[in-house]
Structure 1
């Protein structure tokens, strides 16, 4: 079997997505893998949970679609847009037939007399310049209802696993950094198992998880200088970047005693998911 062929739409669409999002080749493929809108943009007929192509194909796309081809495509798009903006010649001819000029009326002897209204109607220019398509749809995300404490606890557990992976080459050379995972787990369960938690206890539990995450991030930074981040998988590295942003957002909300922040992350696996206030009695907020 030879190499799988990809359409021009998929290649060009992937390059456009990369430039618009400003992501790397790996991150671009990950975004396409998780976003149904991006999959439709590159020409897929149905949503697929696997990668449409390997990230190394982005280099092949850039070689095949050079600057000359991309410039030609841009010219085609501009020409098509201009043609849609310009009225059709047949429509102009029909409009002239319906509204003859003054010279034609003078030649036929149908010039209006004094007191008689003119039959000629003023030519009105079109008020619209095309079609406006609004997409107001949203796709529900299959995630558990997020809370700040659960999100921080999950971030801490993932960081602990990353520390284990990065310390693997250093076993026997230096001791593993202390993460206090048992104490952190117990502190989380003491609050998570309660039905009703006071604001004071919840704030104290969030502060503790923030401190554990801050310590783990420092350990990962130190291990990265010794063993490197290449030991982490692609998913783990992506989750590390998301967790750093989660920590920043949660720390800012904790310091400001606020529950709102711009582009709030509610899922580590799906950081693009955003809450939508529906105002329903059963589910006022959906994701």
Structure 2
């Protein structure tokens, strides 16, 4: 199952190479030369311990697709559809000739993410940091000065209401009973959906007494189905289906017995680990997802650390882990970290930490760096608007951890591409100025000589 290294393809008389078709001055073509692709060929091969089975997809292809989809905010299906149409995407992923069909199925990206895990995703982030240093996007000295902050990465769930959760839990129990061949005394398929709809109408009309009465009745319907299926559990034979029924019974039992303000409250049946985080925003009081800690350089806003923190921990308790990740990915311990007031009581001693609002012992240079702390906020906004940090489609806490790191990779890729574009524009302007100066010098030389004046022409 180990991925086989690609063999160098011979020239084809009827097919031109991609390097002959595309402009090698393009930003993606330049970025291709900055990333160490051989690293993924070596390291990711360790995720395939078996020597049997079909050879895996090329690690460079998968790494390139993950970079592209998070740099351009694409889904698994969309990045492969655009890969077929775009020769620059194909060159970035290591193709020699233009391909007319997708190289893999979109589901292969899901299996690769599960196989490499958070460690493999952090290797992707490390290579973007190295590419940023090689391209000049980020300075080596700025890696020792970071800004750390947290944000919420929302999960792909609907806004949780008790009526919706109770009715959905009942429908899932009824579906499992049908799969197991269990006949329920009553499934409430006709009464419960109407009651859930009426509960929302009562809430909209601010008739809360009627709403609570309807909600209690809907909860009773779900509890009756739960107890009926539990009584007939012995009729279900041992196997995967019985395990699914047991897991669902436990989950629905937690849902029916949870307190309104319990810390382990369930907000989605397919994502029971989702946290409710209050950020104090006027337009959105609560966000449902997971907390993400990110560290960027103060000068360039380049991501040097990103990690999901399940359980909604206190910001100050996440700072040691964030700085440790920065030291691992960059190879150097940050000398200075600037944070907001939510990080008071962090307990970090190896790194100098500046907290917003500090006044004592600050030099003019440290004051300037502390004022730069707020520069991390627009970087978070770009990750949510231009990247995919606004909503995580991956499942579970493992999916949160992988997706958060990949969002940091996409942000760094966009930074590097913007730097390459700006550098190319600057070089073109310099060359145009040199050519114009040479032309003016030739014109002056022609006026001083007896040669015909062609400058006016």
Length-normalised TM-score, structure 2: 0.31
| Greater Rg by CA | 1
User: Which of structures 1 and 2 has the larger relative contact order (alpha carbons within 8 angstroms, sep 6+)?
Assistant: 2
